[in-house]
Amino acid sequence: MASLTSFRGDSYSSRLLATAPNALTNTMKTITVGITGASGSLYAQRLLVHLNASPEVSRIDLVITQAGVRVVSEELGLNVAGTDARVARAFLGEESDKVLVHSPSDIGATVASGSYLSDAMIIVPCSMGSLAAIAHGITRDLVHRAADVMLKEGRPLLLVPRETPFNVIHLENMLKLAQIGAKIIPAMPSFYHLPQTIDDLVEHFVHRLLDHLGVSHKQETRWTGSKPARQRAEAATRGKE
């Protein structure tokens, strides 16, 4: 029997391929998306749009905490309370047969069981309260339970914390989760692609999230090596035309 030490020594990608049903393959994926009460609702909204449009994704299980509903309302002006089709329509601007919204109090939902084959889960944005609960195995709602399931089943769990500054407790919780297999991807936009708008910043970061979910996307934000700033700016402009 493999020791815990040897298991941790395995590469993340090899464990992902061995345990996630469809991860990093060409088969249709089922993705769980959790939205909690941290700032950064726009990242979640844009990610949902990309996942819904992707031919590689067959189903999106969406769970929004009560605090998440409030922050989405304050930051995006959207009413996403409830579990009916209106919630997906609010995020996407259209109807979707891919998105299934679960109540955060529904511990009997599919994503609460390890026998439900979810290929990956992402919590975006992830509040420090949710991060702490998951790090210590505390299940206060369906987001926490679904994340706990991904960890115990050895499936990809991506956490997108949005907080500043981090205190020692925050950092220790992130370290603990990283050590047991979660991928910590703080909401830190980059600038090497010479963004011109907030939309540019958000889209580039969401593309990075798609990379880690194993979902294809347009390649115009890939780093292609150092070039003069003017060349990169012209290339970025051409990509928007």
Has residue 24 been placed in a domain? Answer: yes
Q: Say whether 61 sits in a helix, a strand or coil.
A: strand
Confidence (pLDDT) at 22 = 52
Has residue 228 been placed in a domain? Answer: no
Of 180, 181, 161, give the one whose Cα is nearest residue 171.
Answer: 161
Has residue 240 been placed in a domain? Answer: no
pLDDT reading at 146 higher than 70: yes
Q: Report the C-alpha gap between 211 and 56 in whole angstroms.
A: 13
pLDDT reading at 25 higher than 70: no
Confidence (pLDDT) at 27 = 79
Tell me the one-letter amino acid at 49.
V
Confidence (pLDDT) at 38 = 97
Per-residue pLDDT band for 19 (boundaries 50, 70, 90) equals very low
Confidence (pLDDT) at 224 = 78
Has residue 177 been placed in a domain? Answer: yes
Find out whether 159 and 177 touch, Cβ atoms under 8 Å: yes
Higher pLDDT, 63 or 240: 63
The DSSP output letter for 40 is: -
Confidence (pLDDT) at 67 = 98
Has residue 86 been placed in a domain? Answer: yes
Q: Report the C-alpha gap between 155 and 162 in whole angstroms.
A: 23
With 0-12 / 13-18 / 19 or more C-beta atoms within 10 angstroms meaning exposed / middle / buried, residue 91 is buried
How large is the average pLDDT for residues 96-124?
97
User: What residues contact residue 213 under an 8 Å CB cut-off, 6+ apart?
Assistant: 29, 31, 51, 120, 122, 156, 158
The whole-model pTM stands at 0.83
Has residue 194 been placed in a domain? Answer: no
Q: Report the C-alpha gap between 110 and 120 in whole angstroms.
A: 14
Per-residue pLDDT band for 229 (boundaries 50, 70, 90) equals low
Confidence (pLDDT) at 240 = 61
Lowest-pLDDT choice from 14-23, 146-155, 207-216 = 14-23
Q: How many domains does one find in the chain? A: 1
At 32, which helix (H) or strand (E)?
strand 29-35
Q: Report the C-alpha gap between 30 and 40 in whole angstroms.
A: 23
Has residue 227 been placed in a domain? Answer: no
Residues of the domain holding 61: 4-189+204-218
Q: Report the C-alpha gap between 236 and 82 in whole angstroms.
A: 40
Has residue 196 been placed in a domain? Answer: no
Lowest-pLDDT choice from 71-80, 154-163, 224-233 = 224-233
pLDDT, one tens digit per residue, over 165-205 is 999 999 999 999 999 999 999 999 889 888 999 999 999 99
pLDDT reading at 44 higher than 90: yes
CATH of the domain at 63: 3.40.50.1950
